[in-house]
Amino acid sequence: MRLFTAVYPSPESLDHLDGALGGVGGAAVADPGAGLRWVPREQRHVTLAFHGDVPDGAVDGYVDTLAEAVAGVRSFDLALAGSGTFGGRTLWVGLGGDVHALRSLARHTDEVADETGVPGADRASGRPHLTVARASASVVGADRARERRRRRRGEPEGVPTSPFGRWSRALSVYRGPLWTVGEVLVVSSRLGEGRAGGPAHAVVARVPLRGHLD
């Protein structure tokens, strides 16, 4: 089972982000063009740890130990804020609010993975983010080729080439509303089985934090 552990923004936060994306891109939000793919709204998350392939028999032990480890962790507030790209191929939105608490939660998750023998790669200790869209290598390569031709012709150098350059610049000052992180989700990901050939996600377990016991 391909697995990751994450926290998810509130519906209100996603509504606010959708409004900002629509203000920047208009019709491109619905139809970004060939080689570009928006992450479906229901899959937008902040990864705490990516585990890769985990034996089915190890999942219950990981979830139980994670629940014990975070039982005393208080709920905290985050906000989507700022934006950028990774290598020109991934458009992301950053985090504001209690990012220190988020990083601490990611460390707990990574420690639990190590304790239970589950693979783990801490994804929130460096630059925690929510991925919004991805571009194919061919799209990024074509943009870079156009920039090289500009330089050979002696034309002024343009901004760094990326299909998401305009988006990341416009969203660099973005800040959404605060939402309360009250639970951690353990999620399975089946590659190629989702919308438009993307992954299909399914919640394996919901692990509540202290102060968020519904």
CB atoms within 10 A of CB 104: 15
Contact (Cβ atoms closer than 8 angstroms) between residue 56 and residue 204: no
Token reading at 66: 């994670």
Helix H or strand E encompassing 195? none
Question: Rounded distance, CA 192 to CA 65, Å?
Answer: 30
16 flagged as catalytic: no
Residues 45, 51, 108, 201: which is the catalytic one?
45
CA dihedral (22, 131, 199, 141) in degrees, to 10, reads 90
The residue among 36, 19, 24 whose CA lies nearest residue 170 is 24
Query: What's the distance, Cα to Cα, between the start and end of the chain in Å?
Result: 28
108 flagged as catalytic: no
Q: How many CA atoms lie within 13 A of 193 on its CB side?
A: 8
Residues 16, 108, 129, 201: which is the catalytic one?
129
Active site residue ranges: 45, 129
